[in-house]
A and B are shown apart, each in its own frame.
Chain A
């Protein structure tokens, strides 16, 4: 294998920018910024981090779409580029929310860890080899565990971090075990070679075990039912910006890695769309998708806590994303990416609104949002956009995401395939979903504010981030080709 290290450097320039940014943030905070108060240190760190993100975005954009890099360990294609840019934007929005919302004890470290996590996401976007994929996933996950437990003053935050860590560690073990079986069976850790070996290999029960292990692990990471149990507690307990990152950028990067691993690596064992008699991973993914759609939407109906409600809605959306994974084999990753990216944008926004509300009191129960239209018309309007996008109402991007994923699923063979029926299930469940999304909006836009609740001040950082996210959803919803033509 001819390894060209300049090629590697070129491919990893975005990651290099992020790591350098994180080190500068940490270094500055240790030295010059020591005397300043926490707010200044946070703002400075966020500025530096945004510059690092911008540099990373620049390099991601110019990394090109040349295909395999560094002997096939990484791949630079349109999906890599789009996912990298997507996670950078989502991380940027998350960071921009931080100054407005949190009274974090160690602001610079928080910002640096967000950058490390983002670095993990961007590597996930490019990984095309089991080891790199695993390392990237763990870099991202370890950073997210810390971010979930960052609010040391609240027990819920610690509980969230512990749960997330235990479930995540468990899923990492599953993943590694599955990967090692794959390696044992095929003698390779590179996606392309694995696929070659699988296509000539006779049916093997060990392969089924390996596939199940990998899918279980991804089920945990993506919060797909029945491996979703950590999600409601983490979404409810983690500091709002951390929850936003976990729910958005991490999902986007995870699904990019997932779709690549399954179709590029395990494509030959996909199984047929139309029958269950030729078992492959499509059957397992379809089951995960159906269970997630049902459980996520139905459990969300019963939630009184807005963050837990968003968690169950995330599980439901994971079900739709898994449907996009199945459909990606024929339609390409475009629909899946569009759905994941716009879902991420809406989720960051929704958690952003919660985060801002939290500054002037609790924001856990739905009723904590009561009368938001009086307390801050801007927040109420933004929340309307985010929640309606999650519900899939046009002209917002969430609608088009649903449309394109379901259309791709139905194109696999109409109602002759499990994917077609899943699409119908998902459409039916979106009608259920509107109910709980309207419950959020009812509090925010219809209910009267509680007597003690005063106006909410929104600082410039949060306002910019929220308005940008809302406009993004509107623009991408009206002009979906802006994203789709990247593929």
Chain B
């Protein structure tokens, strides 16, 4: 366990080093970023190898930080944190590989990228609400510069919208947490202490605090109707940032809901549970249908992310052991799959064809021009549809079965989302890679062949494919981490309070 905090420190140190190295050469900055990402990923895997899930939340560091306010620097991890830490390491490493072609201001790019990663690791490790919030905000600002500097379509608008939504969400979280902290006497911000204090809050207080904190986090998780930042932001972002934003940063929101909002205010959660579930279902169906009619390849993936995150929120709202386990598994699964799909669209296809319009791609025989990209996308698409053998299948199945136990009606509607996902995924695979080959002879086939898929792209894609297949075949590896974590007293309060 002691290796885990190093993920945070290494990432921030790597960020500073990349900035310095980038002033000399882009290759050095790239090297620093890859080594840092690999080292952090290695630290998570090393911990995972000897992880004992039944020990529950294991404290790693716990020292006083701001004694005047009772704030402690408290890091801890359980199976849920570890799952998401491994995902972060995986996505970060793949993201560096897919940003190998960044040549402009490389040092600054990787510095911001690693700072963002450091914040994400920190959130997943925090056991004190203040520490969690600090890392959460550290992860917000780099997004603006990553998108505004290195992004594409409408990037300044997309960046500003995304960051303002995130920051408004975090303002809600801050308001709710401060309120709970003050109402609890202002002695401690440790999540466990806040939960104890919150048990004596009045019902209106619990409802108000839960609404603020949950909504704040849910904005970042892409909950309908506060999801509109996600597609625009992800489309505008450079590939690695899209991968991270959809793959990992949206999980921060869901993780905050699960780790902070729900256990702290179980009474509030029990009240809002049906609203959350229906909003999640609305998100699954609405975003899926919107994805079905997009003209821009990347927007399809952007909306599909919102749809898949709807499953996560639904699993949380169903609030039984199986549904919540499925939700965490879906966080991992979607993190890998979204990374894969954004990598194909943003890096492999767009960097070569310089178009993302499905109408243009339709005329190109892309499956012949770049077979590796086509194969990767088909595999990613199958995983995204929830085909058995890929991680999406056990995740969504677990969520649906768990949800059925709470409310068959919710599960029925949500299952429609699986069909919609199959529809938009098949459509986009068909149109983009296996387009009208008859027309291809007349359409503008490029007069020079595309640059071959480079080794970092192949390595990154193989890494992500391996992860989704491995978890798809052996979901128990992760579920055996996640399910025992739900036995902790805090989580049990949620699962009990959440039963309708």
CB within 8 Å of B: which residues of A?
334, 373, 377, 388, 393-395, 399-400, 403-404, 406-407, 410-411, 414-415, 420, 423-424, 427-428, 430-431, 434-435, 438, 441-442, 445-446, 480-481, 484-485
Contacts and interface: CB of A to CB of B under 8 A. Distances in A.
A400 to B, nearest CB: 8
B156 A399 contact: no
Most buried by A among B140, B149, B182: B182
Interface in B183-221: 183, 186, 205, 208
Given A403-B174, A441-B145, 7 more contacts: A377-B23, A394-B137, A403-B130, A411-B182, A414-B182, A424-B175, A446-B149
B144 A393 contact: no
A394 B205 CA distance: 27
A267 B353 CA distance: 71
Q: Chain B's interface: helix, strand, loop or mixed, by majority? A: helix
B137 A407 contact: no
B179 interface: yes
B171 A428 contact: yes
A388 B141 contact: yes
Contacts of B69: 404, 407
B386 to A, nearest CB: 36
Contacts of A403: 130, 174, 178
Question: Across chains A and B, which 7 residue pairs bring their CB atoms closest together, nearest first?
Answer: A410-B182, A394-B134, A431-B171, A431-B168, A411-B182, A484-B68, A446-B148
B164 interface: yes
Interface string B69-96: 1000000000000000000000000000
B13 interface: no
Contacts of A442: 148, 156
A388 B167 CA distance: 13
Contact of B174 (A395, A420, A427, A435): A427
Contacts of B148: 442, 446
24 contacts: A393-B137, A393-B138, A399-B134, A399-B137, A403-B174, A410-B181, A410-B182, A410-B183, A414-B183, A415-B179, A423-B175, A427-B178, A431-B167, A431-B168, A431-B171, A434-B164, A435-B160, A441-B144, A442-B148, A446-B145, A480-B66, A481-B67, A484-B66, A485-B67
A378 to B, nearest CB: 11
B382 interface: no
Nearest to B112: A445
Q: Chain A's interface: helix, strand, loop or mixed, by majority? A: helix
Contacts of B183: 410, 414
Nearest to B131: A394
A410 B178 contact: yes
A399 B71 CA distance: 15
Interface string B101-138: 00001001000000000000000000000100110011
Nearest to A402: B174
Given A438-B163, A442-B148, A484-B68, A407 B181 contact: yes
Contacts of A435: 160, 164
Interface in B269-301: none
Most buried by B among A395, A410, A485: A410
Interface of B: 23, 65-69, 105, 108, 130, 133-134, 137-138, 140-141, 144-145, 148-149, 156, 160, 163-164, 167-168, 171, 174-175, 178-179, 181-183, 186, 205, 208
Nearest to B64: A481
Contacts of A406: 174, 178
Contacts of A400: 66
A428 B182 CA distance: 18
A484 B134 CA distance: 19
Nearest to B107: A377
B163 A434 contact: yes
Nearest to B189: A407
Given A415-B179, A431-B167, A481-B67, A438 B160 contact: yes
B251 to A, nearest CB: 20
Nearest to A394: B134
Contacts of A431: 164, 167-168, 171
A434 to B, nearest CB: 5
A427 B186 CA distance: 18
Contact of B186 (A407, A434, A480): A407
A78 to B, nearest CB: 13
A98 B208 CA distance: 51
A434 B182 contact: no
B145 A445 contact: yes
Most buried by B among A434, A435, A441, A445: A434
A395 B138 contact: yes
Contacts of A388: 141
A217 to B, nearest CB: 32
Contacts of B175: 423-424, 427-428
Contacts of B67: 481, 485
Contacts of A424: 175, 179
Contacts of B134: 394-395, 399
A210 B148 CA distance: 52
A430 B171 contact: yes
Contacts of B208: 415
A308 B108 CA distance: 29
Nearest to A435: B164
Contacts of B181: 407, 410
A373 B133 CA distance: 29
A385 B181 CA distance: 28
Contacts of A407: 69, 178, 181-182, 186
A407 B69 CA distance: 9
B138 A394 contact: yes
A414 B141 CA distance: 30
Contacts of B164: 431, 434-435
A423 to B, nearest CB: 7
A435 B145 CA distance: 13
A303 B178 CA distance: 31
A407 B164 CA distance: 23
B287 to A, nearest CB: 24
A484 B178 CA distance: 19
A466 B108 CA distance: 20
A132 to B, nearest CB: 31
Contacts of A484: 66, 68
A3 B70 CA distance: 43
B430 to A, nearest CB: 38
A410 B141 contact: no
